[in-house]
Structure 1
Amino acid sequence: MLKRRHAVYIISRCFASRLAIVGSGPAGMFACNGVLRRKQDVFVDVFEHSPVPFGLVRYGVAPDHQEVKNVINTFDTMFEKNRDRLRLFCNVSIGRDIKFEELLDNYDAILLAYGSYKTRTLQIPGSKNTKNVISGSEFVGWYNGMPNISAPNNLENVKNVIIVGNGNVALDCARILSSSKSGDGKLRISDIPNDRLDLLEKSGIENIKILGRRGPENVSFTIKELKEQFKVEKWSSKIEISPEDQQKLQNLLPTLERKKKRLTEVILKNSGKSQGERKCQFLFHWVPKEVIANKDGFIEKIRVENVEKNGQEIEELPCDLLIYSIGYETIVLDGVPKNEKKMIDMKDHCRVNLPNSSVYATGWCAHGPKGVIVDTQQQSIFVAEEIVSDFENAENANAPPKTLEILKSRKIPFLSWDAWKKIDNEERDLGKKTGKVREKLTQFDRPEVYFKMESKILDGPNVGYCSSSEGEEEDFKVVKDEDEHQANVMKKFGPSSNTGAKGVLSDFKAFREQTKLAMEQKNQYFLEQAKRGMMMGSKEEREKAQKEEDEFELEESELDEIRRKRMLEMKKMAQNKIIEIVNKNQYSDAIDGSNKYLLAVLIYEPENEECAKLTYLCKVLAADYGNVKFIRATSRLLGMSDAFRANGVPCLQFYKDGNLIGNFVRISAMLGQDGDVAKLRKFLRKQHIDLINGGYASDSDDGDDED
């Protein structure tokens, strides 16, 4: 019988679609995962301009937010499971190393998902050439270990820091700076590189001021990030607002929607004057007007103006480090159309307005820098659906892309998935020595280890989208020439009854028939097990059913009665264990309370068979795991899009300490038609969801659960 990976390869010569994804951050990877799961005969190449993958997740998310970075585990699984049809090309810049037009020539579709990585500059006198005036994204990239970013100068002499901006990037910068001087050691177990943390801990920082141009009602902070700043030990963090602003916020409270109202309540609760040796102050209605440097070219002061006083109130604040976080600019690749706002010209929500081509865009590069990773994920799911739908209606596919030949001819060193795993494993091993998640490498100047030219890997496992599993088919070799490759396949597995396209279809038909037969046999086994009372229930219940069957030769009707009683018992156990949410406030309150428990949220659609089945499975889990609180809500109640309601349910989310640690869209597709409680439990373990202890498990295995 044909091995599946080889059958897929042969079919691909005539029928497969080829997708190029520009960007390996969350937008591109969520979309990639969606396409691969929905369409088996598609091959994907991912291009990343950085030396290593995962973009914002690796270099943007704060090191003390490891629960957010854990989404990398999902991407890792995606690459490992799809080695025969998914390739990674890091250190390859589209526009510099490969032209956009060359992607159009080599792929059936292109997805742009490269984010917004150009920071808006601070356009005030003295800011351009003065030392220690840096952007927020530059500072975030530095402490996250991004290559080729220098540390702020003379951090040991920095006492006063001013941060311009009222968004989460500004908060991240303030929190990392203050946490490094708190002495609680939390950053020491994160993935912040040790050399970066050493410099931060040796700094002389005592005062941090966060300046906002507008009032406190206009901040773009999220509640979680704002609360975290007030919890930093040995620091007095306060929001300093005028009596007029305080009264204004009080008057606004009854009119605000739930999320904004809670944020405003946090602001009011933490308003006042900062006291103590180390202070973090939130100041409003101030804008920077001029940077004043000392004789050595370092920033010494910053002149600011109160916008409410029409230029009548100007102050000079001492400043040794100025960090500005005032937004991002979207970069449009050469060859991609621009609109009047100098952003990508979009035909609709996901398609680029480029005639006679299939070009898509998602994430920040398409819609601007807004939203968090969960928002990006929902966008990407929709885009994946559209790409697959368009592929199904396409007439022809391109020939295999000549990406490797192009890179070889231009002598462009790139990092493949296998090379990245070497780095990944090395970082994790280095981290274990000091009790950290990982110790990031910050320089990639070892090409003999990390970067492999195409000429060295033409016969390797990641070429031609085809590889043999380790330890099997060792004499099967992937070669560059496709005809010779197919000849090798046929020599190994025998000739087809026909040649050409008919032979391909014949082989694939035989393969599908074999698969169908195996599935029927598996289903028959499950049916027999169900009759014997072996499918559902706890370990004790299954043992009881088995013992009863061994001791008595029961009639079919008696078995039915045992099953009926067991189901009634399980329903009784699970009664009131899964709570129906009827408004968004209950949903928000449950997430807020997830510091006391692990919260499982089932998002469903009424009268949906898959949702009904998952509801039952969740009820069984709710009866078994007391540390997990299960709730469910309709997708319409939570304001999900039409595309999500049609294609994203059932969705199972997990929250801990207010953070999203698991988001499994269309989870029924992941479990398969024969998905049961045991399979769901095992799936969640693989995704690091710890149902027993009610939290996130940093390590998991593929073994069965305790049942």
Structure 2
Amino acid sequence: MLPRTQQFLRASASVRSISARTISSLKACIVGAGPAGYYTAQRLLKRNDHIHIDIIDRLPVPFGLVRFGVAPDHPEVKNAINTFTQTATGFGDRCRFIGNVEVGKDVRISELEKHYDILVMTYGAENDRKFGIPGEDAPGVYAAREFVGWYNGLPKFADLAIDLSKAKSAVVFGQGNVALDIARLLLMPIDKLAKTDICQHALDAIAASTLSSIHIVGRRGPLQASFTIKEFRELTKLPGVQGHVPSYAENINIDELPRPKRRVAELMKNKAGSSGDADGGKSWHLDFLLTPREVLTSNGRVSALRCTKNKLVGDDIMSQRAEPTDESHDISCDLIVRSIGYQSRCIDERIPFDTKTYTIPNEHGRVVGKAGLYCSGWVKRGPVGVLASTMTDAFDTADSILEDIDSGLTSSSQTGETHHWSHSLGKDLVDFTGWENINQEEISRGENKGKPREKIVNINEMLRIAKR
């Protein structure tokens, strides 16, 4: 591992000048320090010795969704951070992290275009989809993005006042892996949860929880649920928790299903018709064929989710669509988490953006009509896939960049760098050494509590520790 020469970046006269690079070098900027950003950087750095990359993030800490989206009880998924760290530290000053910079606010794309030959947007999906129904903004209704950010220490949501001490029943609407993660963590034995890197404020709230049942609800049927076997199996194995799958799931024909879907369907069939809450214990319920119509409230708080019952239409069982019927169904609840997907946003007017798909129009990562501008990750393809698909997608974008370099479509601007754009921002920035200071502090705090780490959730505290 090469020594890290870049020290803490600070927008003041004390920051040393970043030396000029040779004319033959290519300067790239990646906006977003999550998995898509680091996988893109990894591919570029390994395959072209003349590329120098700055990876910018609006937070003082890197790794994006791996840090703030992966469930606390899935530490094996977070091992990807080791790979990202190797990319960040293994290429000397050819790869630099610049944290606490919000592109579109602190610095515009037009400014970055003056300093870089290549710009890659990998900033993910920061907004959440909404139901668009009456009562959706009532107290006790949360987006999955908020809820996950709350227990994973995303600074924006760390102060959410989520009170579970009087809640009896919750609805998690959506049937993807994030929905199952939320349900599982709310039902997990607290002694097991306390050994993860869940934030202390969330651990305390869940420890005080009186939730006894969680309904995991979807618009379509069992075969259209998008969670995978690993997450579903974990839910079924929670100690002291009863699971309930509708009895009609016993009739699922699994013979012609693809293997991943068949494994999920087999487990559903085994659980179909099983009892729900037993002897006052905890339970989860899979509810299908329901579309939210209205959030009902009592005394200013959520009291129920009113749904329309659906029927499936179409010959292909894998792609059947849900059509509403005249029947309705109410699910009593004290908490609703809306887990129906995320949306990217346009962060700068110079970036083309499709407001229907919430993605940047592109061809293999090349932004349509914008030479030298690329995209990767969720802002490129939508909020779908797992870490492996993010890596494949990032490599696809990186290969497009490398092809454009080889063909001469992308080349060095041949302007020496004498003053880095970040020097004039007038705010504290964090380099990778600063992040490592934060990392060590979090690990130390976690050791005192018997946890892998205790995340720091206050940005000012992060900046202070980064300066050490």
TM-score (norm 2): 0.87
Alignment partners' CA distance in 2, 1:398 and 1:222: 49
Per-residue CA distance 1:407-435 (angstroms, 9 max, x = gap): 44331332221111110010111112232
Alignment of 1:508-657 (within 5 A): none
Per-residue CA distance 1:241-283 (angstroms, 9 max, x = gap): 43xx542x22xx1221222211211111121231312110001
Alignment partners' CA distance in 2, 1:358 and 1:160: 51
- Given candidates 77, 83, 92, the residue that maps to 1:74 is 83
Structure 2 match to 1:269? 270
The answer to whether residue 139 in structure 2 is matched with residue 131 in structure 1 is yes
How much has 1:310 moved relative to structure 2? 4.8
Per-residue CA distance 1:7-54 (angstroms, 9 max, x = gap): xx9994221100000111111101111111112222111111123111
Alignment partners' CA distance in 2, 1:448 and 1:34: 30
Alignment partners' CA distance in 1, 2:204 and 2:264: 34
Structure 1 match to 2:435? 420
Alignment partners' CA distance in 1, 2:91 and 2:192: 36
Residues 326 and 61 (structure 1), Cα distance of their counterparts in 2 relative to 1, 3 Å cut: same
Structure 2 match to 1:302? 305
Structure 1 match to 2:320? none
Alignment partners' CA distance in 2, 1:293 and 1:39: 59
Residues 131 and 255 (structure 1), Cα distance of their counterparts in 2 relative to 1, 3 Å cut: same
Residue identity opposite 2:297 in structure 1: A
Structure 1 match to 2:29? 20
Per-residue CA distance 1:633-662 (angstroms, 9 max, x = gap): xxxxxxxxxxxxxxxxxxxxxxxxxxxxxx
Residue identity opposite 1:267 in structure 2: M
Aligned length: 436
Structure 1 match to 2:387? 373
How much has 1:324 moved relative to structure 2? 0.7
Structure 1 residue runs without a partner (length 5+): 458-707
Per-residue CA distance 1:168-218 (angstroms, 9 max, x = gap): 111011011011xx24x2222211112211111111010111111111111
Instruction: Indicate conservation of the 8 Å contact 1:17/1:391, yes or no.
Output: no
Report which structure shows greater RCO (CA 8 Å, sep ≥6). Answer: 2
Per-residue CA distance 1:501-544 (angstroms, 9 max, x = gap): xxxxxxxxxxxxxxxxxxxxxxxxxxxxxxxxxxxxxxxxxxxx
Per-residue CA distance 1:435-463 (angstroms, 9 max, x = gap): 221111111223762466xxxx9xxxxxx
Per-residue CA distance 1:340-377 (angstroms, 9 max, x = gap): 7354453421110134x211111111011111000111
Instruction: Indicate conservation of the 8 Å contact 1:288/1:303, yes or no.
Output: yes
- Given candidates 399, 420, 445, the residue that maps to 2:415 is 399
Alignment partners' CA distance in 1, 2:227 and 2:196: 23
Give the SS at the match of 2:23: helix
Give the SS at the match of 1:123: coil
Alignment partners' CA distance in 2, 1:270 and 1:230: 9
Give the SS at the match of 2:165: helix
Give the SS at the match of 2:92: coil
Determine which structure has the larger helix proportion and give its number: 1
How much has 1:382 moved relative to structure 2? 2.6
Residue identity opposite 1:293 in structure 2: T
Residue identity opposite 1:146 in structure 2: L
Residues 37 and 170 (structure 1), Cα distance of their counterparts in 2 relative to 1, 3 Å cut: same
The answer to whether residue 237 in structure 2 is matched with residue 234 in structure 1 is no
Identity across matched positions, percent: 33
Alignment partners' CA distance in 2, 1:105 and 1:269: 60
Alignment partners' CA distance in 2, 1:189 and 1:228: 17
Residue identity opposite 1:425 in structure 2: Q
Instruction: Indicate conservation of the 8 Å contact 1:50/1:90, yes or no.
Output: yes
Structure 1 match to 2:316? none
Residues 134 and 402 (structure 1), Cα distance of their counterparts in 2 relative to 1, 3 Å cut: farther
Alignment partners' CA distance in 2, 1:47 and 1:11: 20
How much has 1:148 moved relative to structure 2? 2.7
Alignment partners' CA distance in 1, 2:460 and 2:388: 34
Instruction: Indicate conservation of the 8 Å contact 1:16/1:397, yes or no.
Output: no
Residues 208 and 345 (structure 1), Cα distance of their counterparts in 2 relative to 1, 3 Å cut: closer
How much has 1:152 moved relative to structure 2? 4.4
The answer to whether residue 388 in structure 2 is matched with residue 382 in structure 1 is no
Instruction: Indicate conservation of the 8 Å contact 2:54/2:98, yes or no.
Output: yes
The answer to whether residue 321 in structure 2 is matched with residue 320 in structure 1 is no
Residue identity opposite 1:374 in structure 2: A
Residue identity opposite 2:100 in structure 1: N
Residue identity opposite 2:184 in structure 1: R
Structure 2 match to 1:200? 206
The answer to whether residue 188 in structure 2 is matched with residue 187 in structure 1 is no
Give the SS at the match of 1:399: coil
Residues 447 and 232 (structure 1), Cα distance of their counterparts in 2 relative to 1, 3 Å cut: closer
Residues 311 and 343 (structure 1), Cα distance of their counterparts in 2 relative to 1, 3 Å cut: closer
Per-residue CA distance 1:299-337 (angstroms, 9 max, x = gap): 122222212395443233221111011112221232111
Structure 2 residue runs without a partner (length 5+): 6-17, 312-322
Give the SS at the match of 1:15: coil
Structure 2 match to 1:221? 227
Residue identity opposite 2:415 in structure 1: A
The answer to whether residue 282 in structure 2 is matched with residue 278 in structure 1 is yes
- Given candidates 168, 178, 190, the residue that maps to 1:169 is 178
Residues 344 and 131 (structure 1), Cα distance of their counterparts in 2 relative to 1, 3 Å cut: closer
Give the SS at the match of 2:215: strand
Determine which structure has the larger strand proportion and give its number: 2
Instruction: Indicate conservation of the 8 Å contact 2:221/2:288, yes or no.
Output: yes
Structure 1 match to 2:155? 147
Give the SS at the match of 2:77: helix
Per-residue CA distance 1:54-99 (angstroms, 9 max, x = gap): 1000000000000000110111122222232221111211111111
Residue identity opposite 2:442 in structure 1: E
- Given candidates 438, 461, 478, the residue that maps to 2:453 is 438
Residues 134 and 398 (structure 1), Cα distance of their counterparts in 2 relative to 1, 3 Å cut: farther
Per-residue CA distance 1:471-528 (angstroms, 9 max, x = gap): xxxxxxxxxxxxxxxxxxxxxxxxxxxxxxxxxxxxxxxxxxxxxxxxxxxxxxxxxx
The answer to whether residue 433 in structure 2 is matched with residue 410 in structure 1 is no
Alignment partners' CA distance in 2, 1:294 and 1:194: 30
Give the SS at the match of 1:275: coil
Structure 2 match to 1:290? 294
Instruction: Indicate conservation of the 8 Å contact 2:438/2:462, yes or no.
Output: no
